[in-house]
Structure 1
Amino acid sequence: MRKATAAITGLVLLSFIISIYFYPQVPEQMATHWNSKGEVDGYMSKLWGLFFMPFVIAGLTIMFLVIPRIDPRKENIAKFRNYYDGFIVLLILFMVIVHIQILLWNTGIKISPNAVLPLGIGLLFYYIGILTENAERNWFIGIRTPWTLSSDRVWKRTNRLGGKLFKIAGIAAIFGAFFPELAIYFILVPVIFVAGFTVVYSYIEYQKELKENKRNKENEIGK
């Protein structure tokens, strides 16, 4: 955990250092947003363009590090903390890479976000699959529906299946790098399907558990 915290802190500091380094090299109005075709459609002033992402990274880091301390089921998070810390490192690293892509674009090195994002998001989705498969019941991490939060068995079944589906979604997102103009669909369609499917699946599994419990009680009474 200490190594992960050190790595995360180092990445946050690196994002600020990179911004300071690029300060003399970027224009007063920076391109900061691209549409699905990879065309610039949003700008920020130099100061915001340089430091908005580092502050977002710092804020997310604080939030993710606080979650294991405030979750009512923090003892369950401790059981898969290594996977959770790995996710934070990967997420912050991805955001730093996106930040670098934005800065390079504004210095004339135009690396398309449609090449960077599908690869990065695909890897993130795949790792989320690993994290989800190993997550124990808690209030912040994993596939959380009213039914998974109400039953350990439903939680495990839903998150194990959801983890496998997230891995598939991650692979699909990576393929989006080969079809830049369609990359957004390779990212969004699979993850929307996974989200919707796991909600329905968790409900069905919970109803099965209720019926099974009811049947067991009736059998006990019959005895």
Structure 2
Amino acid sequence: MKKSTLVIIGIVLFSFILSIYFYPLVPEQMATHWDASGEVNGYMSKFWGLFFMPLIMAGLALFFLVVPRVDPRKANIEKFRKHYEGFIFLMLLFLLAVHVQMLLWNIGIEISPNSVLPVGIGLLFYYIGILTENAEQNWFVGVRTPWTLSSERVWKRTNRLAGKLFKIAGIAALFGMFFPDLAVYFILGPALLAAFVTVVYSYLEYRKELKDKELEAAWE
């Protein structure tokens, strides 16, 4: 088994170990959800409060480990496998940090999620920018629209743009930690804008490519 796979499994197992350790320490009803201002507005039973996040982490880890084996263009994923695995590590570490914040809150150490999320999501968005810039054409990773999947040129141009925009979105999300009450807007606003711009851009680039081909055919 690859060392990277062992590290991924280790992170997931550690989340379960933490939940088992905290089991006798947390209340029967655990705070598990917070509103945009950082106030608790959702609870779960002890079992689900402790193990929901580790189960999510396990499911995501399994999914991302399987993707390179089942993607029809898995040879392309191998070309940026280092960046792909880096994303898995960072995503799991982010979810682990969220899990720890929730566990600590429920034993009386109330660290606001508005302090944790902007940093974690900012770093995650920034790395997604690095990942998309390096991603080769495939069915699971990067900006996958009908137009990027139909043209390698459109794929490369769109994903390079997406990489730059998501790096900017990551930096913007980091500023949310200085404005806790507005953190959700620093996180969601730039990310949604980046996603919208890249989808539209991929369509326009594809239309441009079709026109260029028509002009070439006409000259011939």
Partner in structure 1 of residue 41 of structure 2: 41
Amino acid at match of 1:112: S
CA distance in 1, matches of 2:159, 2:73: 16
Which residues in structure 2 correspond to 1:65-76 (within 5 Å)? Answer: 65-76=65-76
Encode CA deviations 1:160-183: one digit per residue, 9 max, x unaligned.
Answer: 011000000000000001100000
Q: 1:3, CA displacement in angstroms?
A: 2.3
Q: What secondary structure sits across from 2:42 in the alignment?
A: strand
2 CA distance for matches of 1:149 and 1:96? 33
Q: Which residue of 1 aligns with 2:148?
A: 148
**Aligned sequence identity (%):** 70
Give the counterpart letter for 1:11 in structure 2: I
CA RMSD, Structure 1 to Structure 2 (Å): 0.8
**Structure 1 unaligned regions, length at least 5:** none
Alignment correspondent of 2:20: 20
Secondary structure at the aligned position of 2:24 is classed as helix
Q: Distance in 2 between matches of 1:12 and 1:60?
A: 10
Cα distance per residue 1:141-173 (max 9 Å; x no partner): 000111000000000000001100000000000
Decide whether the 8 Å contact of 1:79 with 1:136 is kept in 2. yes
* Aligned-partner Cα distance in 2 for 1:101–1:48: 16
Counterpart in 1 of 2:83?
83
Partner letter of residue 179 of structure 2? Answer: F
TM-score (ref. length: structure 2): 0.99
CA distance in 2: counterparts of 1:105 and 1:7, whole angstroms: 27
Q: What is residue 169 of structure 1 aligned with on the other side?
A: 169
Which amino acid counterpart does residue 45 of structure 1 have in structure 2? S
Paired letter, 1:134 = N
Aligned partners of 2:118, 2:32: CA distance in 1, in Å?
17
**TM superposition outliers: structure 1 runs of 4+ over 2 Å:** none
Spell out the pairing of 1:1-223 with structure 2 (5 A cutoff): 2-220=2-220
Name stretches of at least 5 consecutive residues in structure 2 with no aligned partner.
none
- Contact 1:19–1:50 at 8 Å: present in 2 too? yes
TM-score, normalised to structure 1, is 0.97
Q: Is contact 1:4–1:86 with CA below 8 Å preserved after alignment? A: no
C-alpha distance in 1 between matches for 2:83 and 2:185: 28
Equivalent residue of 1:145, what SS? Answer: coil
